[in-house]
Structure 1
């Protein structure tokens, strides 16, 4: 999202006027400038978000240098400082991350959802007591009340001006934290909470706290994907649009986080002219936000601002002597040394990298696409819990993409270490199971398309290798999953399946609420990180699989006709994990019979409603003439082995009943042949005969004494679909029916004679 480095004004005066009147104007909004006027008091705020324990000397140098450049600056964060961290931090309870940010002088931070990973008590106890900064959560309340469970704001002295930082966290937090992590808490609407606190801070009543300037720290932000403009992001996310258009004019600047995006935009201010900055600094300490507000002490207003997302830089001679840098660098050295000792052990070998899906720019963690690492983890859940003495009877594994925080990339010798394996899943969730019906499993897959307003529009689940499915992303919500195969057979909606996952997902995290419809959760008590390391040891040596388990099928048929042509389009054959090859062809089968091999063209689609699909084939084949009844259409792509399929019903197939062996003695009929001289039934009382040119092929002939085949042999005339057209009007109709009846009587008489002759000659 490099284009978002350029600050953009995305709204015209018309939209600004449309917002006017939402709030009573409290201030003239500011204007973006290249440099602040000299008569204004500069208020510098250094911002980060989604740090996730990525303590590096590069980031230390960048922050320390900025603080040296702006001695009165305050360093603040929009949350997720801990949790979801790499091995160097996670293996030490994230203590090095806290110590690192302490050394750099972090003063205030909104809570992020990951601050709750180990529970509210851990946040307010161990974490907060070690941190020198204040965690803020204006929209976090004690359950059933409006009583704040956390500090709502902190007033900082920035160059002699009182600047209040108000923090709020995404309302999705309960869906992103496992188990009892947020028990006893309610997460209110963040914008309303920020506005409530900002109003108090600007109401002139010292008794409830006052500030000269208010800034907001939201752990929520613009969604990922799409064109990087403010207006497009607002259109894509009602939650983000609410932040932009509804945050009170009392707030002079908005810092955001959670969605791991990089932007700095000029946003309109409700009830005022001008704009204010809205900022996010990517994630993993790649950038530092540098915001300067120009404060006019005479009017008590912010009238100008300048904002830059500054990329981190390697330590230089200028920064290595700075106290903040030396203190932070010492934490890095100590933590890395300790982690190195812990993580040196080789746990497995792999012939190649096993990774998350890669984005178009080659970076990791594309949560819109299937990955071999996410599928591998899902399989590890099944294998591990089915070991003797454990839960057993687990049929399906599931993995949420957001839980995959690092990749498995072997060294030149193919070695994978404990540190690498542990870094993949750093949250220390337990692994649990619950029973769900087939119908519920379909709904779980449907919920990959996230609810409107979610930070990410789609989250691709990892699946154990025995599950494949097809979908049509263009269909309405709730109807996109078109077939599911489990162990190569169509899923039965009424059948119960035992699924395994981490305790976060199994309890409905990431909006996969259908999982809550299942039976009681059975917690194995095993930590996912340790279980995965154990599984890797047992599964070694590993080979990356590039076979996808989900395919997009457009115009997927449910019925086929034997001997007729069928056609549809299949896409999504190619995985985007590292080193995944492009598929060249796909062989299609009908109930195991190959009906053709078709070229796969390299293509990609990353437009809503998602997911991204790479590699497309146009399939056209003739249905086998002898196929009939329920059947499976399946695919297998080369060279990766991507597979899948869907059930169909084939109509008009050849007879499926085996004819009676002609050498078998015919059954003695219990009645004599019909008297050919008997009066035919009145054709006017019979139903209208069908046009033989439009009927399906007939089923096998009967084998009793009244059969139209002598001695059990099928009569060629009995299976013919040709013959004279029966007229359907007037006398010609009556004559035709009478004639057919007469022919039938003669035929029966002939059969009787043949039977009599056979009896004499046997």
Structure 2
């Protein structure tokens, strides 16, 4: 239809409303205006958008977060006009959800979004958490909105495996919504769940579909306006980062900004949990087009207004902003959409509370992820919770009737909450509830084992340094307490792990080690590809949350283990000569989980001989990974050391962190003489048992 305006009034013909006819081909550049500032002579289309909601209908146990989002959606839609406003999403609506939603397989969240009138959504990687068949079966059947993935193809073909677009009619305007997902999805979900799929270039897929929707051929779908919903986005889109910064950094966001075709009028993004509303240069013309992401968890609502020239059908103005979601108001209580959504939250909370309040065990102190600048979930660093979880997986697979395992591992990104000593609900201090355990492990991974050679396990540790272009340069693995290693952060890629010990013995390169973890990681998730190359991969069918709960039921209480299992050593010697000075630096001695002690000293042994105790500086060191706690170590190798193969062992206090690396001991010329640099029989400060460098006094007796 042709929509015309006369003055400030929109004139719509009576009877059937026909579609606005847009000029076929590319959109033209538009100009940004303030929210509410669209020229009244233009036709206004209002789009509300969320991303990375992750089932947050009940973040704090009262449903306040979900209800606040619902109230903000309905009041904003009422202010803008019900018929001229549509709600969309950039994906990850479900998955990695808090207990209320996760314990009910996210069905309350899907029903909640149905009630809010969500029209279409890009699929996010978490929509694939339970596999493709679950997405296209259970999830799709429950959702009233279309799940879009234009770059998801049947393996080895160009056949789309999901819907590529949805036409959403907004006040008579046909809005083509094209969805695409991050190309890294196979490394972010259990690989077996997407084994029959290919994830292509998201920008190329959006461009292909957008061109189809603007080609003037009604037989293949036509839209007046095209918006892209990318489940991918800028990696640092906060107030300290600009659009230009992000484009200069390259990667997925730069491709979205630079290469998304001119047929696309506006771009919504997600996945990276950032907040921005940027005016990006349009690919043709002198104007700009909006690129928006709205943080995460429903705490921000994206609002896009498009001003369309009724004569040409082109978007010529737009406003883009993020609205902070605020607590529900009394005004919302009279809105039937709000009351329906709020009732869904209340029912889900009531059902979740019955299961979640069950106490499963106790902790003696906080057991948490790594913290940085007051925030949890620093995935670049080792944590008490990551290592405990790896212990739990190993323990679970070594219970009677299970297949057995040698090592437990845990991916840091899978830890979605903390074990806190202070109560977060009605429980007593130290009590751990089912809800808390499930919030840590919300993905319902099954426990698996796989056999790796010692060499492959070392490769696994090397793969903590992620491939170029990954969203994080390093992902720290949690390790069961029978594993420790040293690494050189300055070494070449693939050569950074310098020594690994398993069960207090150097790892056997040709030996076989059975590794236990969740199906996500064992399948090669998070770019730990060597796990998918192992042998005898076995799915036990045991759910990770159940393994976690069972561990607590077998222990009266659980305490944090503050021992670091990975210590960085730079300039490590491979050979030492008695009488010669030895110098190197040890770092990454301190954990940053809540309650972790700050190490003050590290004792150094050559074989069983202590060669000194050295002060630890608690400062943090930037790098990959960042490291906290370091010691500069210098000593003279004493006479009397056993020649040949030996080791240098580091023991940090008070955490008792320990690691070692191999070294060969060579007797110096004149070893044993009274007058050598390495040994002084008169007992002055050149004596063979006296360390050099920054040493501290201790009461340790050799």
Identify whether the pair has TM-score above 0.5, normalized to the shorter chain. Answer: yes
Number of the residue aligned with 1:289: 302
CA contact (8 A) 2:176 2:225 kept: yes
Pick one of 204, 209, 220 that aligns with 1:192: 204
Give secondary structure in 1 for the equivalent of 2:536. Answer: coil
Matched, 1:325 2:342: no
Higher mean C-alpha displacement, 72-81 vs 292-301: 292-301
Alpha-carbon separation, structure 2, partners of 1:170 and 1:520: 30
Alpha-carbon separation, structure 2, partners of 1:237 and 1:605: 26
Alpha-carbon separation, structure 2, partners of 1:605 and 1:165: 45
Number of the residue aligned with 2:190: 178
Q: Per-residue CA shift, 1:469-501, capped at 9, x if unaligned?
A: 222333322122222222233222222211111
Number of the residue aligned with 2:32: 32
Query: Are residues 224 and 542 of structure 1, via their aligned partners in 2, closer, same or farther at CA, if it must alter by over 3 Å?
Result: farther
Pick one of 416, 419, 422 that aligns with 1:408: 419
Query: Are residues 69 and 356 of structure 1, via their aligned partners in 2, closer, same or farther at CA, if it must alter by over 3 Å?
Result: farther
Alpha-carbon separation, structure 2, partners of 1:446 and 1:173: 21
Alpha-carbon separation, structure 1, partners of 2:567 and 2:32: 47
Number of the residue aligned with 1:508: 524
Q: Per-residue CA shift, 1:600-632, capped at 9, x if unaligned?
A: 22322445xx22212222222222322232222
Matched, 1:581 2:591: no
Number of the residue aligned with 1:632: 647
Pick one of 627, 637, 661 that aligns with 1:623: 637
Runs of 4+ in 1 over 6 A off after TM superposition: none
CA contact (8 A) 1:428 1:529 kept: yes
Query: Are residues 270 and 385 of structure 1, via their aligned partners in 2, closer, same or farther at CA, if it must alter by over 3 Å?
Result: same
Number of the residue aligned with 2:512: 496
Q: Residue 225 of structure 1: CA displacement?
A: 9.4
Q: Residue 464 of structure 1: CA displacement?
A: 0.7
Give secondary structure in 1 for the equivalent of 2:650. Answer: strand
Alpha-carbon separation, structure 1, partners of 2:237 and 2:492: 21
Alpha-carbon separation, structure 1, partners of 2:567 and 2:475: 15
Alpha-carbon separation, structure 2, partners of 1:696 and 1:438: 40
Pick one of 622, 625, 628 that aligns with 1:614: 628
Query: Are residues 236 and 154 of structure 1, via their aligned partners in 2, closer, same or farther at CA, if it must alter by over 3 Å?
Result: same
Alpha-carbon separation, structure 2, partners of 1:512 and 1:458: 11
Q: Residue 579 of structure 1: CA displacement?
A: 2.8
CA contact (8 A) 1:108 1:135 kept: yes
Larger gyration radius, structure 1 or structure 2: 1
Alpha-carbon separation, structure 1, partners of 2:153 and 2:510: 41
Number of the residue aligned with 1:744: none
Give secondary structure in 2 for the equivalent of 1:568. Answer: strand
Give secondary structure in 2 for the equivalent of 1:473. Answer: coil
Query: Are residues 472 and 276 of structure 1, via their aligned partners in 2, closer, same or farther at CA, if it must alter by over 3 Å?
Result: farther
Pick one of 226, 243, 254 that aligns with 1:230: 243
Matched, 1:481 2:497: yes
CA RMSD of aligned residues (A): 2.4
Number of the residue aligned with 2:232: 220
Alpha-carbon separation, structure 2, partners of 1:696 and 1:440: 43
Q: Residue 696 of structure 1: CA displacement?
A: 7.4
Number of the residue aligned with 2:664: 649
Normalised to the residue count of structure 1, the TM-score between the two structures is 0.80
Give secondary structure in 2 for the equivalent of 1:251. Answer: coil
Matched length: 635
CA contact (8 A) 1:588 1:633 kept: yes
Structure 2 stretches of 5 or more lacking a match? 1-23, 58-65, 679-702
Number of the residue aligned with 1:59: 69
Alpha-carbon separation, structure 2, partners of 1:547 and 1:373: 12
Alpha-carbon separation, structure 1, partners of 2:597 and 2:303: 42
Pick one of 535, 538, 556 that aligns with 1:519: 535
Higher mean C-alpha displacement, 172-181 vs 200-209: 172-181
Alpha-carbon separation, structure 1, partners of 2:606 and 2:328: 62
Alpha-carbon separation, structure 2, partners of 1:429 and 1:531: 10
CA contact (8 A) 2:579 2:671 kept: no
Matched, 1:246 2:259: yes
Query: Are residues 429 and 595 of structure 1, via their aligned partners in 2, closer, same or farther at CA, if it must alter by over 3 Å?
Result: same
Q: Residue 165 of structure 1: CA displacement?
A: 0.8
Matched, 1:341 2:351: no
Q: Per-residue CA shift, 1:310-351, capped at 9, x if unaligned?
A: 222111223333222211111111101101101111111111
Number of the residue aligned with 2:546: 530
Aligned pairs (5 A) from 1:539-550: 539-550=555-566
Alpha-carbon separation, structure 2, partners of 1:31 and 1:622: 71
Query: Are residues 604 and 225 of structure 1, via their aligned partners in 2, closer, same or farther at CA, if it must alter by over 3 Å?
Result: farther
Structure 1 stretches of 5 or more lacking a match? 1-23, 654-694, 699-715, 722-762
Q: Per-residue CA shift, 1:137-177, capped at 9, x if unaligned?
A: 11112222212111110111223321111001122222233
Q: Residue 580 of structure 1: CA displacement?
A: 2.5
Aligned pairs (5 A) from 1:293-442: 293-360=306-373, 362-392=374-404, 394-410=405-421, 411=423, 412-442=428-458
Determine which structure has the larger helix proportion and give its number. Answer: 1
Number of the residue aligned with 1:140: 152
Give secondary structure in 1 for the equivalent of 2:513. Answer: strand
Give secondary structure in 2 for the equivalent of 1:254. Answer: strand
Alpha-carbon separation, structure 1, partners of 2:477 and 2:599: 22
Q: Residue 191 of structure 1: CA displacement?
A: 0.8
Q: Residue 25 of structure 1: CA displacement?
A: 9.0
Query: Are residues 144 and 438 of structure 1, via their aligned partners in 2, closer, same or farther at CA, if it must alter by over 3 Å?
Result: same
Matched, 1:157 2:179: no
